[in-house]
Amino acid sequence: MPGVNETLVGEGGVASVVNGVRIDDGFAEAFPMAGTALQITAVNEKWALEAARSMTGFATSVIACGCEGGIDRVLSPEETRDGRPGVRVLFFSFDAGGLEKQVTTRLGQCVLTSPSSACYADLEGEAEIDLGSGIRYFADGWQISKKFEGRHFWRMPVMEGEFLCEARTGVTTNGVGGGNLLIMAATSAQALAASEAAIAAMRKVPDVIMPFPGGIVRSGSKVGGKYEGMMASTNDAYCPTLKGVTKSELGPEIGSVLEIVIDGLTAGAVSDAMRVGIKAITELGPQDGALRIGAGNYGGNLGPHHFHLKDLLP
């Protein structure tokens, strides 16, 4: 019912109805991850984004991609290390070793190769992983190490001129992966509109990424499947076309579900992003957007971070 805010905790798993959007009395279950942040700069924003998009491509799920990565935000020249336009990107993986392998591979193939690019550490963490130090041998003996003011850089001659990269970057083990929102609507167009509104708001929150395409995933998964060896399979409980033939979580009014997955450098950043996402969805309302907001979990026994939707109400 638009315009009405009421708390219904305990009534059929509903935490609240805000502006006509039902918010489930559930929680997102998330996991600790190793995370890092990088600055990618270039001669202009266009080329900084080209390098950043390339580096964070195919980084939607750590299970299949080895890491989860995305663009945190665009940086002004005043915010970057070299005074040029830049982009801050975040990467997450299960541990620092896996993170290093992914970051250095992507650095070498996507940033080193991108015209005018440079790459710098943008996180001071409890540990460090290689950045430029992991790819410096590409310069075939012509690489130049520069240490000054407590920082270490590698200069690598390339056909365009010179690629400049910080030697190492910080890693935090306080990262959180798997914060999520399930956006349920009558139609796929309304689910997409609500999800886009949420993403637009969540992208303003620092230290988080939404690693799926455009920040949105349409094929949320459950753990395992009927076929041997499947790590994950379609989340049939939330597939609208399977209502009636599976143990569905969806009522008859729901015709489409989209999910937003959130990774953050801290649990606080993830909860902030979820909070503003919920607010944006409820502000859009059920006429143009979602009827219901939920969250995915595994019963609460696997991940130590539980983001209860009732604690994130607008």
Partner 1 sequence: MTGLTFRKKSEPQERLDLSPLVPSRLKGLTRKDMAGVVVGTTRLRLTVGDLFDISGDDAAEICFEGGSPRFDRIGEAMDAGEIRVDGDAGNRLGRAMSGGRITVEGSVGGHAGSAMSGGVIRIAGDCGERLGGPLAGEMAGIKGGTIVVAGKAGPRAGDRMRRGVISIMGDAEDDVGSRMIAGSIIVGGRAGGTPGRLMKRGTLFLCGGAEHLAPTFLDNGPADLLIFSVMAREFSKGVVGPVGFDGMAMRRLGGDTAVLGLGEIFLPL
Binding site for partner 1 (CB under 8 A): 81-83, 118, 141-142, 144-151, 153, 155, 161-162, 164
Indicate the residue type of 170: G
Q: Cβ closer to partner 1: 82 or 95?
A: 82
- In angstroms, the CA 65 to CA 22 distance is 34
Minimum CB–partner distance for residue 142 and partner 1 (Å): 7
Taking the complex as a whole, the smallest distance from the CB of residue 193 to partner 1 amounts, in Å, to 42
Q: Is 149 left (phi over 0), alpha (psi -120 to 50) or beta?
A: left
Question: What minimum distance in Å lies between the beta carbon of 86 and partner 1?
Answer: 12
Residue 43 or 302: the one with the smaller Cβ distance to partner 1 is 43
- Residue with Cβ nearer partner 1 (153 or 238): 153
Q: Which is nearer to partner 1, 52 or 164 (CB)?
A: 164
Q: Tokens in use for 132? A: 């430029």
Instruction: Give the DSSP letter of residue 280.
Output: H
Least Å distance, CB 148 to partner 1, is 5
Whether residue 103 contacts residue 122, with contact meaning beta carbons closer than 8 Å, is answered with: no
Please state the separation of Cα 41 from the chain's center in Å: 20
Strand-pair category, 305-308 with 168-185:
unpaired
Closer to partner 1 at the Cβ: 149 or 228? 149
CB of 91 to partner 1, least distance (A): 22
Q: How far apart are the first and last CA of the chain?
A: 16
